[in-house]
Amino acid sequence: MANILFPKIPLLAALSSAMVFLAAHDSRRFANLSQSADTQEEKWVDSVFNALSEEERLGQLFMLRAHSDKDTAYERQVEDLIRKYKPGGMCFFNPTYLGTPEKHAELTNRYQAASPRVPLMIAMDFENGVGMRYRGNALSFPRAMMLGAIQDNRLIYEMGREIARQCLRMGVQVNFAPVADVNNNPGNPVIGERSYGEDRYNVAAKAFQYMSGLQDGGVLASVKHFPGHGDTDMDSHFDLPVIPFNRARLDSLELYPFRMLAKNGAGSIMVAHLQVNALDARENRPTTLSRATVTDLLRKEMGFEGLIFTDAMEMEGVKKFFPNGIADVEAFKAGNDMSLLPVDVGASITAIQIALADGSLDREQLWASVKRILRAKFRLGLTKPQLVDLANLRRDLNPPEALALKHRIISNALTLVRDEKDLIGFPNLENLKFATLAIGDTNRTVFQTYCGQYASMAHFNTPKEVSDSLGIKLLDTLRNFDVVLVGLHGIRTTPRPNRAVNPEPGPDTIYGLTHSELDFLRKLNEKNTIVLTVFGNPYTYHWMDAPPLLLQAFTEDPMAQQLAAQSLFGANDLNGIMPVTAASWARFGQGMKKIFPQKRLGYALPESVGMSTDSLAMMDGIVSEMVSMGAAPGCQILVAKDNKIVWQKSYGHYTYEQTQAVTNETIYDLASVTKVAATTISMMKLTENHKVSLDAPMSNYVPELKTTDKKDLTVREMMAHHAGLQAWIPFYQQTLTADKMPSSKIYLHTSQPGFEVPVAKDLFMENAWADTVWQQIFNSPLSDNKNYKYSDLDFYLCARAVHNLNGSPVDVF
């Protein structure tokens, strides 16, 4: 795509946002690595540099590959390379996801021990968190395109700070992020969802926030992929992509985010392997090996004084055209400071030594790069090895506060693209008959489950290939429903499965869509009112007819599915905007803001409402003890605050026979709520304030008990229903007439002097009868058996104690 549409209002809003946040932060600790005003820093840099031999200095220019998912023989080879060549750093990988954070930490400590003189810079691609490389073991935040939909950029900064914390906990000092590529090509096989979108201002503002969060958190950010990998249909891992645009176009679009971040504190920038003729017209000359690009444009014209990394030198975009060793010589001639993942570091060092000897490579330029690397290490605290503490590592990488942040980010990114019928929120859902349909997932999805929390739902599923017979059957069944909530699943993050150059793309090759699912969706849209939620890349819209109601959810993440369901039913506001133009009817900046003044009950994490997951988890032990003691066969616990359910868990069984387990779908009869919601909490507060002792006699607080057989019963016994009191007293029977109606001697239909005790609507009891009730409680029979027996009387007495101690009843207290 040679051109990009810039809608005026969204663009101005994004530009304004970018400028505001540039003023809000000053993340410049790594901005100038070419020199320093810190005398301690310069003293350390000079002392280390002077102590290194020439070969050791050359080693600092390289960052080598390391894996956390390989065998011990491989690990020993890496240690040998470190001891032999003394590289400046290591970049970890875990492509099989078999490596663990603990293994990563263990290897980091081993490899740092192998480099005692100058500690290693440890790097990784944690673009959206540690979970990107350690899937299932650590938290992942949404990909950049989803973040591009967010209008509150402070959330991106908070994410950057959290990822920095994760990095340092893993012993990682360099994060190859953020991606500052402007992705305006739906066919891009390598950037796509890794970009914040197609608008240069939005990309720049969000990349700046992420960079600032990382660097304020003590991690060196590396902005990539300079000079811009967004508008290409080729992957530089497999070949050399060509960027055919003139310099004016590059300045107005691709270069804009890099220029802004270079001027505003970026600590490092990664140069991509691209053929950009407007910068260097030599044939098959990657930008990584172009002095016009690296030195003239980035270093001189943009005034960038941070570290410059090459992209991986083992990629075909450079390796295909330059032999081993020569490529690294050319990279350093171009002005790069650090070569990432050389094919053969020994051959590269030898080639550099030859180039230094024949004068084709500037020695002073290389030594300036070494000193930049050493300054970066000083500012990262790498004057001595930073060892990783393995204790509680997994827990520290997955704190509930980070999950709560992820929850806020996803909630803010969900984008209501279309709502032509003004249905979203479903204010009159009791009048509608709902069904859900998952396309591309044959199991009950999280989205379907949570939709079912708001209304009675019939659930249906279909694979991605929808056969004619299944399609006909589903269409016939679904026409009986007023609204069908459709979830589109199984969408790939990249256009093609193998990332290679393919023939003209179509539904079979783009993002995993199939002809049959698109045809079925089209027919369903014609016959039913459907609400389509896309759990994947919005570029899939290109092959769809415009649905009248469309929610863009970007990802299959269970948290996104849960929040999508909540938002459709009016439990969460919708604020996202489209980060890209995906179709003529879904353009950049489009998004319907939906604010629900009267929200339905939603779901969130305890930390989202100021509560603690760890504190609430203590209930597990309490309930386990309750069930094991036989106090109850099972129960449900639901905690809600600020209109959000933050804890919902079921325990045990329906009965002591344990024939049926309690689930979150189990329905209980709610009774005696006041005992828990008022009396118990009041007694807890009084105990906390040292006005009540659980092991003191209740008669201390209810003096009328002192002359009864209940004088020695403790507060604890009563609250635990172990006091031996009878279950209840049918007081009401004594107030009824022979025909079972309220006696007019005891009740009036209006409140009058002497009849002021409310019993029910328009029914008031004689005040004196309250004293009669209390005397019956005081004089009630007491059993010698103090085994558990549920009793109303226990809590009547607790409520009286609250009143006596404070002069007000529990409903007032």
Query: Looking at residue 235, what is its pLDDT?
Result: 84
Q: Do domains 39-397 and 414-603 have the same CATH topology?
A: no
* Joined tokens for residue 96: 């099989």
Is the per-residue pLDDT at 500 higher than 70? Answer: no
Instruction: Encode 455-481: b = buried (16+ Cβ within 10 Å), e = exposed.
Output: eebebbbbbbebeeeebeebeeebeeb
Query: Looking at residue 187, what is its pLDDT?
Result: 84
Domain residue spans in the chain? 39-397, 414-603, 607-668, 674-806
Counting every residue, how long is the chain?
A: 813
Query: Looking at residue 506, what is its pLDDT?
Result: 56
Query: Looking at residue 249, what is its pLDDT?
Result: 96
CA distances from 292 to 280, 295, 333, 805 (A): 6, 6, 11, 83
Where residue 509 falls among pLDDT bands split at 50, 70, 90?
A: low
Where residue 634 falls among pLDDT bands split at 50, 70, 90?
A: very high
CA distances from 788 to 495, 718, 719, 723 (A): 65, 10, 11, 8
Where residue 389 falls among pLDDT bands split at 50, 70, 90?
A: very high
Query: Looking at residue 23, what is its pLDDT?
Result: 39
Is the per-residue pLDDT at 614 higher than 90? Answer: yes
Is the per-residue pLDDT at 499 higher than 60? Answer: no
Is the per-residue pLDDT at 14 higher than 60? Answer: no
Is the per-residue pLDDT at 688 higher than 60? Answer: yes
Q: For the chain, what is the mean pLDDT?
A: 92
Query: Looking at residue 508, what is its pLDDT?
Result: 60
Domain 414-603 falls under CATH 3.40.50.1700: yes
Query: Looking at residue 406, what is its pLDDT?
Result: 98
CA distances from 468 to 401, 436, 443, 471 (A): 48, 20, 20, 5
Instruction: Encode 225-255: b = buried (16+ Cβ within 10 Å), e = exposed.
Output: bbbbbbbbbbbbbbbbbebebeeebbeebbb
* Joined tokens for residue 315: 């990629």
Where residue 51 falls among pLDDT bands split at 50, 70, 90?
A: very high
Instruction: Give CA torsion, residues 71, 73, 79, 81, to 10 deg.
Output: -120
Query: Looking at residue 5, what is its pLDDT?
Result: 29
Where residue 25 falls among pLDDT bands split at 50, 70, 90?
A: very low
Residues near 447 by beta carbon (within 8 Å), at least 6 away in sequence: 436, 438, 485, 487, 533, 535, 561, 562, 564, 565
* Cα atoms in the 13 Å half-sphere on the side-chain side of 775: 5
The topology (CATH level 3) of 39-397 is: TIM Barrel (3.20.20)
Tell me what the mean pLDDT of segment 552-574 comes to.
Answer: 98
Is the per-residue pLDDT at 22 higher than 90? Answer: no
Q: What percent of the chain has pLDDT over 70?
A: 95
Is the per-residue pLDDT at 20 higher than 60? Answer: no
Residue 209: closest CA among 174, 167, 261: 261
| pLDDT tens digits along 262-297 | 999 999 999 999 999 999 999 999 999 999 999 999
Query: Looking at residue 36, what is its pLDDT?
Result: 86
* Joined tokens for residue 507: 């539904």
**Best-predicted range by mean pLDDT among 258-262, 620-624, 733-737?**
258-262
| pLDDT tens digits along 203-246 | 999 999 999 999 999 999 999 999 999 988 888 888 899 999 99
Where residue 109 falls among pLDDT bands split at 50, 70, 90?
A: very high
Query: Looking at residue 512, what is its pLDDT?
Result: 87
Q: What is the CATH number of domain 674-806?
A: 3.40.710.10
Query: Looking at residue 3, what is its pLDDT?
Result: 31
Is the per-residue pLDDT at 390 higher than 70? Answer: yes
Beta strands in 125-184 (DSSP E): 174-175
For the sheet containing 415-419, what is the strand order? Answer: 415-419, 549-552, 530-534, 483-488, 434-439, 457-462
Is the per-residue pLDDT at 627 higher than 50? Answer: yes
Residue in the block written with tokens 């240069």: 200
Is the per-residue pLDDT at 6 higher than 50? Answer: no
Q: What DSSP character marks residue 672?
A: -
Give me the sign of the Cα torsion angle 289, 292, 296, 302.
Answer: negative
Is the per-residue pLDDT at 27 higher than 80? Answer: no
Residue in the block written with tokens 């005398």: 39
Distance CA 203, CA 195 (A): 7
Residue 175: closest CA among 163, 162, 193: 163
